[in-house]
Amino acid sequence: MAGLLAGCVSDVERQPDVDGRGDVVAAEEESTYLGPEELRGELRSLIRDVNAEHGGRSGVAVATADGVAHSGLSGNSWAWSTIKVPVALVADERGVATEELIEASISSSDNDAAYALSTLLEGDYGELPHVPEITEPPGETKWRLEDQALFATQLPCVDEAGTTYGAMGDIVEWQQRGLAEIPGAHFKGGWGYDTDTIYTLRQFGTAEVDGGVVGLALITHPDDGSHDTAEAILDDLGDGLKKLLDARSIGPAVTCSA
């Protein structure tokens, strides 16, 4: 795995283009990427507006080459079904899982498939970058948004087979929410009641930008505790991120070199 991570390079570290005489060729357009503080301000405004519109508390983390811009809730609570991604990755890496089990666990969030993967690993989940020690049951692992966003940027590198990451790009229709607002996004969601009154809907994943990827993580606790409101909040957060990406305000984090 260390070798795989060594193949990850920052997209913004590419050497400048030169012409036939060895002179540096000027870029056609200046970067419009926001710096960390500016991006954090945009996220803060987005969260404030969405929370006011629907009623709730939310958090967003965005991992770029400049680090993680985060605003709102930390997400330091149960991961729910988002934890199925590292479980599937480890099971695939060790050769103990079938492609069908992984796809069912990720694409449709099938709990029986996820339980089968967990059983095959016998409680040994190994180590992955930015993934906390996985508890039993795995869904009760606490996983911060910032770490989820950073982990997302590593997915194209660490998923050598591409099965898990591919399944994240083929989520079933009824779970097409939030980051699904961004064309081509790869993501996984998780949801449930943290307590009798606090409902959680969260996601993390990647979006393509300028030849690389950006890591994204979202969470919300709707005031009315309903799944429908949680979906509406995540959809608006996803749409807000899409607008920032379309405006080229968010730059790439890492890509995997050959």
Closest CA to 63 of 218, 181, 175: 218
Are 51 and 57 in contact, with CB atoms under 8 Å apart? yes
pLDDT at 162 exceeding the cut of 90: yes
Could you read off the pLDDT of 193-249 as tens digits, one per residue? Answer: 999 999 999 999 999 999 899 999 999 999 999 999 999 999 999 999 999 999 999
Its pTM surpasses 0.85: yes
- pLDDT for residue 72 is more than 90: yes
Return the higher-pLDDT residue of 171 and 27: 171
For residue 60, the cross-strand partners are: 71, 218
Percent of the chain with pLDDT over 90: 84
Q: What backbone torsions phi and psi does residue 183 show, to the nearest 5 degrees?
A: -55, 135
Q: In the predicted model, what is the mean pLDDT of residues 50-75? A: 97
Going by C-beta distance under 8 Å and a sequence separation of 6 or more, which residues neighbour residue 200?
A: 77, 78, 80, 190, 191, 192, 193, 194, 219, 220, 221, 230
pLDDT at 248: 95
pLDDT bucket at 254, cuts 50 / 70 / 90: confident
Q: Which among 257, 250, 256 has a CA at the least distance from the CA of 65?
A: 250
pLDDT tops 90 at residue 15? no
Residue-wise pLDDT tens digits, 97-143: 999 999 999 999 999 999 999 999 998 999 999 999 999 999 999 99
**Residue, of 166 and 31, whose pLDDT is higher:** 166
pLDDT at 256: 63
Helix, strand, or coil here: 58?
strand
pLDDT at site 31: 75
Position 113 scores a pLDDT of 97
| Domains of the chain by start residue, with CATH | 33-253 (3.40.710.10)
DSSP track, 101-165: HHHHHHHS--HHHHHHHHHHHTT-----TT-PPP-SSGGG-B--HHHHHHHHHHHHHH-SS-HHH
